[in-house]
A and B are shown apart, each in its own frame.
Chain A
C-alpha cells in the first residue's frame, strides 16, 4: 500500500514564527488532504489538495504530485495553531481509502 511520511515529527516554535511541514508519499495519488487535530482530539480538514497550491488565511499548501510531496505552510503562528497536523493520501482503486501519515506535532509557545 501507499506509504506516507511526514516531517518533522515534532516542531516547537515561538508565537509569530513561520513553519513548513512536509508530506512525502510513495505512489501516485489523486486525493491528498491536510488535517489539524487540536489538543481536544477534533480533526479539522484544512485543505483538499491533490495538486497545485491553495491558501486560506495564514495557511497555505502546495502539492507537487509528479514529485510525490506536499507542503503545508503556517505563517505568523498563534498558540491556537498547536496540535498535530496530518497528511492523508488516497488513490481511486474501486474505493477511496485515505492513508494517514504519523503526523507532525506542532507546539506554539507564547
Chain B
C-alpha cells in the first residue's frame, strides 16, 4: 500500500513570494490533515478535511494561507504572501476515519523563506 505522497520535498523562496504544496493521501482515506512543524516543536494542525469539506481550520492564518481538496482526494496548501516566520516543515497526513483513528504522515515539505 502506497503511503502519503507530498511534493516538493524542499522549497526556498523570498519573503512576499507565493508557494504551493501538494499532497496525495493513502487511497481510500477520507480525512486529510495539513500540519506545520516549526524547528524544535511538535506539529500543529492547520486544516482538516473530511472528503472535500473543511472540518477544522481554526489555526489556519487565513489572511495568507489557503487550502483545497478538490474531488476529495488530492489537496493543495498555498501561502501568499510568505513571511519569514512561515519557514517550517509542512506535513500532510491522512486517516481512514474522522474520529479516533490512526494518522499516517507524508515525508513533509521543508520551506525556507529568505
Establish whether residues A95 and B55, one from each chain, have CB atoms under 8 Å apart when the complex forms.
yes
Q: Which residues of A contact B45 (CB under 8 A)?
A: 97-99
Q: Is the Cβ of A95 less than 8 Å from the Cβ of B107?
A: no
Contacts of B103 in A (CB 8 A): 33, 45, 98
- The DSSP consensus for interface residues of chain A is strand
Q: Which residues of B contact A40 (CB under 8 A)?
A: 107
CB distance from A72 to the nearest CB of B (A): 15
Query: When the two chains form their complex, are residues A97 and B56 in contact, meaning their CB atoms are under 8 A apart?
Result: yes
State whether B98 touches A31 (Cβ < 8 A). no
* Least CB separation from B3: chain A residue: A42
B43→A43 contact, CB < 8 A = yes
- Hey, which chain B residues are within 8 Å of A95, CB to CB? 48, 50, 55-56, 98
C-alpha gap A88/B35 in the complex (Å): 13
Inter-chain contacts of A44 with B (CB < 8 A):
105
Q: How many residues from B make CB contacts under 8 Å with A?
A: 25
Q: Determine which of A30, A90, A100 lies in contact with B43 in the assembled complex, contact meaning CB atoms within 8 Å.
A: A100
Q: Which of B48, B93, B110 contacts A97 (CB 8 A)?
A: B48
| Contact call A31/B42, Cβ cutoff below 8 A | no
Closest Cβ of chain B: how far from A11's Cβ, in Å? 16
Given contacts A42-B105, A94-B56, 12 further A-B contacts (CB under 8 A): A30-B100, A40-B107, A43-B43, A48-B101, A86-B42, A96-B48, A97-B45, A97-B56, A98-B45, A102-B42, A103-B41, A103-B42
Residues in A lying within 8 Å of B, measured CB to CB: 4, 30-31, 33, 35, 40-45, 48, 50, 86, 88, 90, 92, 94-103
Task: Kindly list the 5 A-B residue pairs having the minimum CB-CB distance in the complex, ordered from nearest.
Answer: A100-B42, A43-B105, A95-B55, A95-B56, A48-B102
Interface residues of B (CB under 8 A from A): 31, 40-45, 48, 50, 55-56, 89, 91, 93, 98-105, 107-108, 110
16 contacts between A and B (CB under 8 A): A4-B42, A31-B100, A33-B102, A41-B107, A41-B110, A42-B105, A45-B105, A48-B101, A95-B50, A95-B55, A95-B56, A96-B99, A97-B48, A100-B43, A100-B44, A102-B42
